Amino acid sequence: MVFTRQYPELVEIKSVPVFLWFSGVLSALGISMFYYLIPKMGVGNMMSYALTGQLLMAIVASHFGPV
């Protein structure tokens, strides 16, 4: 075999912090809401709100330094 895939063991999976598991769920929810709201708000408004939200979260994350 050219490629070997080694799956993580249960101990490694349990060592992942809980907030990292929920980040995927929150990302899926955010994308779903984005596509739900585009027809209701319009593309321009939705993009401006999305970019503003990203900038605000970047400011908060850089100020508090969660990681």
CA distance 32 to 51: 16
Task: Say whether pLDDT at 43 is over 90.
Answer: yes
What pTM did the predictor assign?
Answer: 0.57
pLDDT value for 23: 83
User: Cβ(42)–Cβ(30) under 8 Å?
Assistant: no
18 alpha-carbon distance from chain centroid: 14
- Give me the mean pLDDT over the 41-67 stretch: 89
pLDDT grade for 8, boundaries at 50, 70 and 90 = confident
